[in-house]
Structure 1
Amino acid sequence: MSSSDDDIRSDFLAEAGELVEQLAGQLIALERAPDDVETLNAVFRAFHTVKGGAGFLQLPAMVELCHAAEDVLNSVRNRQRAFDTEVMDAVLQAVDAAQRMMAELYAGSALTPAAPELLMQLHALVGAQAAAPVVAAPVTNGSATISDDEFEALLDELQGKTPAKPVAAAPPAPKPAPVPAANAAVAVKTEAETIRVETHKLDQLMNLIGELVLVRNRLKAAKGGFDEPSARAIGELDFITRNLQNTVAQVRMQPIGKVFARFPKLARDVARQLGKQVKVVLEGEETELDKNLVEALADPLVHMVRNSVDHGIEMPDRRAQAGKAAAGTLLLRASQEGDHIRIDIRDDGAGIDAERIRAKAVDKGVIEAATAATLSPADCLQLIFLPGFSTKEEVSDLSGRGVGMDVVMSRIKRLNGTVELDSRPGEGTAFRIRVPLTLAVLPALIVRSEGRRFALPLAPVSDVFRLDEQRMRRVERWDVVDSRGAPLRLVHLDRWLGAEAGRGPRHVVVAQVGDERYGIVVREVIGREEIVIKPLGASLRGLAGISGATVMPDGRIALILDFNGLVTAARALPVEGVTHG
Structure 2
Amino acid sequence: MSTGDDDILNDFLAEAGELVEQLGTQLMALERDPGDTECLNAVFRAFHTVKGGAGFLQLTPLVELCHAAEDVLNAVRNQRRACDTDVMDAVLQAVDAAQTMMGELAMGSPLTAAAPELLMQLHALLEGGTASLPKAPPPPAAAPAAVAASDTISDDEFEALLDELQGKKPAAAAPQPSAPVAVAPKPAAAPAPALAPKAEVETIRVETQKLDLLMNLVGELVLVRNRLKVAKGDLDEAGARAIGELDFITRSLQNTVAQVRMQPIGKVFARFPKLARDIARQLGKQVNVQLEGEDTELDKNLVEALADPLVHMVRNSVDHGIEAPATRKQAGKPAAGTLLLRASQEGDHIRIDIRDDGAGIDPERLRAKALEKGLIEPETAERLSPAECLQLIFLPGFSTKEEVSDLSGRGVGMDVVSSRIKRLNGHVDLDSKPGEGTSLRIRVPLTLAVLPALIVRCDGRRFALPLAPVSDVFRLDERRVQRREHWDVVDSRGAPLRLVHLDRWLGTEPLIGARHVVVAQVGDERYGFVVREVVGREEIVIKPLGASLRGLAGVSGATVMPDGRIALILDFNGLVAAARALRFEDAAHG
Give the TM-score normalised by structure 1. 0.91
In structure 2, the CA distance between the partners of 1:577 and 1:60, relative to structure 1 (3 Å rule), is closer
In structure 2, the CA distance between the partners of 1:218 and 1:84, relative to structure 1 (3 Å rule), is same
Runs of 4 or more consecutive aligned structure 1 residues displaced over 3 Å after TM superposition? 129-132, 146-149, 151-154, 169-175, 574-578
In structure 2, the CA distance between the partners of 1:148 and 1:492, relative to structure 1 (3 Å rule), is closer
The letter for the 1-side match of 2:35 is: D
Partners of 1:454 and 1:112 in 2: CA distance: 53
In structure 2, the CA distance between the partners of 1:148 and 1:353, relative to structure 1 (3 Å rule), is closer
The yes-or-no answer on 1:190 pairing with 2:185 is no
Partners of 1:493 and 1:131 in 2: CA distance: 71
The letter for the 2-side match of 1:507 is: H
* Structure 2 residue aligned with 1:384: 393
* Structure 2 residue aligned with 1:155: 150
Partners of 1:94 and 1:451 in 2: CA distance: 62
Shift of 1:174: 9.4
The yes-or-no answer on 1:425 pairing with 2:434 is yes
Partners of 1:173 and 1:348 in 2: CA distance: 49
The letter for the 2-side match of 1:384 is: I
Which secondary structure does the structure 2 equivalent of 1:399 belong to?
coil
The yes-or-no answer on 1:68 pairing with 2:63 is no
Shift of 1:503: 1.9
Partners of 2:532 and 2:180 in 1: CA distance: 86
The letter for the 2-side match of 1:156 is: D
* Structure 2 residue aligned with 1:140: none
Unaligned runs of 5+ in 1: 133-145, 160-168, 176-182
* Structure 2 residue aligned with 1:165: none
The yes-or-no answer on 1:551 pairing with 2:560 is yes
Shift of 1:227: 1.2
Partners of 2:412 and 2:586 in 1: CA distance: 38
The yes-or-no answer on 1:493 pairing with 2:502 is yes
The yes-or-no answer on 1:542 pairing with 2:537 is no
1:269-294 CA-to-partner distances (Å, cap 9, x unmatched) read 00000001101010000000000000
1:3-39 CA-to-partner distances (Å, cap 9, x unmatched) read 2211111111111000000000000000000000000
Shift of 1:576: 8.6
Contact 2:309 2:417 in 1 (8 A): yes
Partners of 2:35 and 2:370 in 1: CA distance: 50
Which secondary structure does the structure 1 equivalent of 2:200 belong to?
helix
Partners of 2:147 and 2:320 in 1: CA distance: 46
The yes-or-no answer on 1:368 pairing with 2:377 is yes
The letter for the 2-side match of 1:272 is: R
Structural mapping, 1:83-102, within 5 Å: 83-102=83-102
Structural mapping, 1:194-213, within 5 Å: 194-213=203-222
Which secondary structure does the structure 2 equivalent of 1:447 belong to?
strand
Which secondary structure does the structure 2 equivalent of 1:573 belong to?
helix
In structure 2, the CA distance between the partners of 1:186 and 1:202, relative to structure 1 (3 Å rule), is farther
Partners of 2:33 and 2:488 in 1: CA distance: 57
Partners of 2:152 and 2:490 in 1: CA distance: 80
Contact 2:26 2:43 in 1 (8 A): yes
Which secondary structure does the structure 1 equivalent of 2:219 belong to?
helix
Partners of 2:506 and 2:36 in 1: CA distance: 61
Partners of 2:25 and 2:583 in 1: CA distance: 50
Partners of 1:416 and 1:474 in 2: CA distance: 31
Shift of 1:190: 3.4
Partners of 1:278 and 1:131 in 2: CA distance: 26
Unaligned runs of 5+ in 2: 133-140, 155-176, 184-193
In structure 2, the CA distance between the partners of 1:174 and 1:265, relative to structure 1 (3 Å rule), is closer
The yes-or-no answer on 1:254 pairing with 2:263 is yes
Shift of 1:93: 0.2
The letter for the 2-side match of 1:190 is: E
The letter for the 1-side match of 2:108 is: G
Contact 2:349 2:446 in 1 (8 A): yes
Partners of 2:363 and 2:513 in 1: CA distance: 43
2:331 to 317, 322, 333: 322
In structure 2, the CA distance between the partners of 1:227 and 1:148, relative to structure 1 (3 Å rule), is closer
Shift of 1:537: 1.2
* Structure 2 residue aligned with 1:440: 449
Shift of 1:575: 6.1
Partners of 1:494 and 1:131 in 2: CA distance: 74
Identical aligned residues as a percent: 80
The letter for the 2-side match of 1:504 is: G
* Structure 2 residue aligned with 1:16: 16
1:109-146 CA-to-partner distances (Å, cap 9, x unmatched) read 111010000001001111224699xxxxxxxxxxxxx9
Shift of 1:502: 2.9
The letter for the 2-side match of 1:442 is: L
In structure 2, the CA distance between the partners of 1:572 and 1:288, relative to structure 1 (3 Å rule), is same
In structure 2, the CA distance between the partners of 1:123 and 1:173, relative to structure 1 (3 Å rule), is closer
Shift of 1:577: 8.6
The yes-or-no answer on 1:565 pairing with 2:574 is yes
Contact 2:471 2:521 in 1 (8 A): yes
Partners of 2:68 and 2:19 in 1: CA distance: 17
Shift of 1:310: 0.3
In structure 2, the CA distance between the partners of 1:174 and 1:513, relative to structure 1 (3 Å rule), is closer
Which secondary structure does the structure 2 equivalent of 1:564 belong to?
helix
Structural mapping, 1:36-51, within 5 Å: 36-51=36-51
1:253-274 CA-to-partner distances (Å, cap 9, x unmatched) read 0000000000000000000000
1:29-54 CA-to-partner distances (Å, cap 9, x unmatched) read 00000000000000000000000000
The letter for the 1-side match of 2:483 is: R
Partners of 2:53 and 2:180 in 1: CA distance: 26
Shift of 1:172: 8.2
Which secondary structure does the structure 1 equivalent of 2:268 belong to?
helix
The letter for the 1-side match of 2:150 is: L
Partners of 1:198 and 1:253 in 2: CA distance: 14
* Structure 2 residue aligned with 1:178: none
Shift of 1:88: 0.2
Which secondary structure does the structure 2 equivalent of 1:499 belong to?
coil
Partners of 2:322 and 2:61 in 1: CA distance: 38
Partners of 1:519 and 1:396 in 2: CA distance: 44
Give the TM-score normalised by structure 2. 0.89
* Structure 2 residue aligned with 1:53: 53
What is the CA RMSD across the aligned residues, in angstroms? 2.5
The letter for the 1-side match of 2:317 is: S
Which secondary structure does the structure 1 equivalent of 2:428 belong to?
strand
The yes-or-no answer on 1:358 pairing with 2:358 is no
The yes-or-no answer on 1:462 pairing with 2:489 is no
Shift of 1:370: 1.3
Partners of 2:489 and 2:479 in 1: CA distance: 11
Structural mapping, 1:512-551, within 5 Å: 512-551=521-560
Structural mapping, 1:496-511, within 5 Å: 496-511=505-520
The yes-or-no answer on 1:214 pairing with 2:223 is yes
